Amino acid sequence: MKAPRQPVARIRGWKYSTRKAPAVGRGTAPSRKKPGPAGRGSARTALVALVLGVALAVVGTPALLAQAKSAAPQKVFPYPIHKRTLANGLDVIVIETPEFKNVLSFNTLVLAGARNETEPGKSGLAHLFEHILFRHRWKGQENGYEEAISRLGAHNNAWTWFDVTFYHPLTFTANLEGRSADLPGLLALEADRFSRLDFTEKIFRTEAGAVLGEYRRNASFPSLKLEERLMALLFPHHPYGHTTLGYYEDVLDMPNEYAAAVAFYETYYRPNNCVLVIAGDVRAEEVFAKVEPYYRDWQPKPVPPILATGAPPQREQREHVTWDADVAPLVWVAYRMPAYKTGSVETAVGQLLPELLISPAAPLYRKLRFEKQTASALDFEEGTQGYESFDPRVLILSAQLYKEKYAERGQAYFDEVVADILAGVEELKQFSRRKDARALLETLKSKYRYDFLAAMSSPANIAQTFAWYYRFERDPEVFEKLLASVERLTPRDIDQFARRQFVPEHRAVLTLAHDASARP
């Protein structure tokens, strides 16, 4: 199977505000614009501009303006959102964007990811299932689904992450329904593979092999190893403790897990556990009428809750990881974060953390990258997506260091960078005491709002972002509520959030360096 798409995060130094793509997926397609708001497009835009030779005006020192107070319109998201829930519990969302003529973005969100792999020895199944869905035997034919999609004409891809799996074919509105029995439409093909998946053990074993290939490919990235260690340390009693790819030994054993895979599908690929998000040049009422007959026979089933089996550790975790290739040293400082909740102060502050910590205007970023030049990159390892999660998860600050400096100074270099990161995070606890706190906060809100809108640049981007947030409370008003909660923030909210979350008992500090260059 194809390689996973690599996050744009690999382009270090440009990523600060780019949301990271889900860790694994089928695509070789370039990462789409990431779900979610706020300058998430901006680093990418800057990079594109750079390589295009497009001239950007030089950005000067940030300063705060009165303009930031421009009145927010009543409704920020410009397109009508329609929702219908079928009798079997399937939520169907239609977002009408008629200006994108003939475009149909047809997305299925499955509310199951690595978090739902609760049995020991069976990690990685959600991701494997994403592969299997493309091998669906439409009309009993090997490769039947893929060939039918190819005849129809569509870009077709999917990704898996810790909470969800997302399938996102893109085609023409006219392809929603078929032209003949031999040329089924997208609706028929998608409904069929989700509700009546047909795959054999042979297919299963083949795809398990492909996933192993994917693991091996990703294994050359030191960040995978760091992530495995970090999650195991912070979440020893919750499925967030393993990555989406799964443990290596589980992936090796995957070909023998056919029965477990069938059980995973039977449990989670249920209409009440999925959301259809259809965006583009469509009319909601017509879509609802067409969708219903295709999906109504899909049988619902209660989905088991995911429960932690114990409390997370209550003291700081530290670990050093060695690496066999001569890569740049890494420092990760991670904090457990509260679960995502639309409208909560915690979630609203979370939206602004990239601008507060890792944007070129943030004091921490400037110190490490410009003043001391101790880091060649400073990012959130998972964007803000890492802590936009069903259960409390994690914020990871990731600094890439210089090999030469580490060779010279060893552990003292690590210590200095870690101390600087901790101090930068600590500063947020006094945010409201900054003289310009109020004005700065207003600018950040304004930038957040407009960058959020700028990210809504196509039906596919709109649908993906919507699905990402809708899943939490299944509220079609989620965009407005999230944006409103950011608007309500005060400088003291920042202080209080930082004081509650950025404490040693929530923290883990990991370092990674090439073995031979390690100094005692």
Partner 1 sequence: MCKIHPIAVVRWLFVLSVTLALGTPPAPAQSVRVVTLDSPAPLVVVKVMVRAGSAHDSAGLEGLAYLTARMLIEGSFGDPKNPVTKERLAEITRPWGQGATPTVQVGKETTTFSMTVPREVLPRYIAQIFRPMFTQPLFDARELDRLRAETLTTLRSNLRLEQIELVGLVTLDNVLHAGTGYAHPVATERGAEAISREALLQFYATYYRPEHLVLGVSTREEALVASLRDALAGAGASTAPPLERRPVEPPPAVQGREVVIVALPNAISTGLHAGFPLSINRSHPDYWPLYVANVWFGTHRDSFSYLYDQIRALRGYNYGDYSYIEHFENRPFALFPPTGYPRRYQYFSIWIRPVQHDYAVHLLKALTWELEHFVRTGLSEEQCALAKNKARVLYLSLAETTERLLGYRLEDEFYGLHPGYLESYLDRIDAVSCAQVNAAIKKHLQAANLKYVVVTDDEVAPRIADAIAANQPAWGKEPVEYQIEVREENGQKLYLVPETKRALLERDAVWAHYWLDIPRNRIRIVPAERLFVTAALP
**What is d(CA 135, CA 199) in angstroms, rounded to the nearest whole number?**
7
- The count of residues interacting with partner 1 (CB under 8 A) is 58
Closest CA to 245 of 143, 150, 131, 355: 131
Answer whether 15's CB lies under 8 Å from 39's CB: no
Instruction: Give the pair of three-digit tokens for residue 341.
Output: 């909740």
Out of 6, 18, 31, 42, the only residue in the binding site for partner 1 (CB under 8 A) is 42
- What is the biggest distance separating any 2 CA atoms in the chain, rounded to whole angstroms? 71
Say if CB 214 and CB 150 are below 8 A apart.
no
Q: Which of 50, 289, 412, 503 binds partner 1 (CB under 8 A)?
A: 50
What are the residues facing 394 on neighbouring strands? 336
Per CB under 8 A, 73 contacts partner 1: yes
Cβ–Cβ < 8 Å for 244, 22: yes
From 3, 12, 79, 416, residue interacting with partner 1 (rule: CB under 8 A) = 79
Question: For residues 269 and 199, what is the distance between their CA atoms, to the nearest angstrom?
Answer: 14
Q: Is 257 in the site for partner 1 (CB under 8 A)?
A: no
The whole-angstrom separation of Cα 376 and Cα 372 is 11
Residue 101 CB, nearest approach to partner 1 (Å): 7
- 384 lies in the site for partner 1, by CB under 8 A: no
Which one of the spans 336-344, 445-453, 468-476, 489-497 is the region binding partner 1 (CB under 8 A)?
445-453
Q: Per CB under 8 A, does 213 bind partner 1?
A: no
For the chain, the C-alpha Rg in angstroms (whole number) is 23
- Kindly report the CA angle at 68 between 62 and 69, in degrees rounded to 5? 155
- Minimum CB distance to partner 1, residue 291 (Å): 21
182 part of the interface to partner 1, by CB under 8 A: no
Verify binding: residue 508, partner 1, rule CB under 8 A.
Answer: no
Nearer to partner 1, 172 or 248 (CB): 172
- Distance, in Å, from the CA atom of 145 to the CA atom of 197, rounded to the nearest integer, reads 10
- Check binding of 433 to partner 1 (CB under 8 A): no
CA distance 275 to 94: 11
Q: Is 436 in the site for partner 1 (CB under 8 A)?
A: no
Closer Cβ to partner 1, 409 or 434, answer by number: 434
- Find the part of the chain contacting partner 1 (CB under 8 A) among 35-43, 192-200, 264-272, 418-426: 35-43
3-state secondary structure 103-139: EEEEEEEECCCHHHCCCCCCCCHHHHHHHHHCCCCHH
Return the number of the residue (303 or 454) whose C-beta is nearest partner 1.
454
Tokens of 174: 């006219």
Which residues in 248-388 belong to E strands, given as ranges? 274-280, 317-323, 330-336, 375-380
Closest CB 321 distance from partner 1, rounded Å: 30
Stretch that binds partner 1, among 61-69, 85-93, 373-381, 467-475 (CB under 8 A): 61-69
Selected from 3, 88, 146, 172, the binder of partner 1 by CB under 8 A is 172
Report the C-alpha gap between 120 and 108 in whole angstroms.
Answer: 28
Stretch that binds partner 1, among 117-125, 137-145, 328-336, 442-450 (CB under 8 A): 442-450
180 binds partner 1 per the rule CB under 8 A? no
Among positions 286-345, residues that touch partner 1 (CB under 8 A) are: none
Cβ nearer to partner 1, comparing 172 with 221: 172
Asked whether position 62 contacts partner 1 by CB under 8 A, the answer is yes
CB of 57 to partner 1, least distance (A): 5
Contact 447, 65 (CB under 8 A): no
Choosing from 4, 25, 41, 424, the residue that interacts with partner 1 (CB under 8 A) is 41
Is residue 435 a contact point for partner 1 (CB under 8 A)?
A: no
Residues 93-112 that bind partner 1 (CB under 8 A): 99-103
484 binds partner 1, rule: CB under 8 A: no
**400 near partner 1, judged by CB under 8 A:** no
Token digits for 72?
A: 């927010």
Which runs of consecutive H residues, i.e. helices, occur in 172-242?
Answer: 186-195, 201-218, 222-234
* 443 DSSP β-pair partners: none
**H/E run at residue 352:** helix 345-353
Total Cβ atoms within 10 A of residue 99:
10
How far apart are alpha carbons 416 and 413 in whole angstroms? 5
Q: Is 183 in the site for partner 1 (CB under 8 A)?
A: no
List 61, 74, 309, 314, residue binding partner 1 (CB under 8 A): 61
Distance CA 219, CA 245 (A): 10
Q: Which of 8, 21, 76, 482 binds partner 1 (CB under 8 A)?
A: 76
The CB-of-512 to partner 1 minimum distance in angstroms stands at 26
Q: Which residues are CB-contacts of 293 (< 8 A; sequence separation ≥ 6)?
A: none
Query: Which residue among 9, 110, 154, 486 contacts partner 1 (CB under 8 A)?
Result: 154
Task: Check residue 140 for interaction with partner 1 (CB under 8 A).
Answer: no
Told to check if 57 binds partner 1 by CB under 8 A, we report yes
Give every CB contact of residue 128 below 8 A, 6+ residues apart in sequence. Answer: 207, 208, 211, 254, 261
Evaluate whether 334 touches 501 at the Cβ level (below 8 Å): no
Identified binder of partner 1 from the candidate list 228, 442, 493, 495, rule CB under 8 A: 442
Least distance to partner 1, CB of residue 12, Å = 13
The stretch among 65-73, 326-334, 415-423, 502-510 that binds partner 1 (CB under 8 A) is 65-73
Rule CB under 8 A: say whether 25 interacts with partner 1.
no
Asked if residue 334 lies in contact with residue 394, where contact means CB atoms within 8 angstroms, the answer is yes
Tokens of 54: 């497009």
Binding site for partner 1 (CB under 8 A): 30, 39, 41-42, 45-46, 48-65, 67-68, 70-71, 73, 76, 78-79, 99-103, 151, 153-155, 170-172, 360, 442-443, 446-447, 449-451, 453-454, 456-458, 460
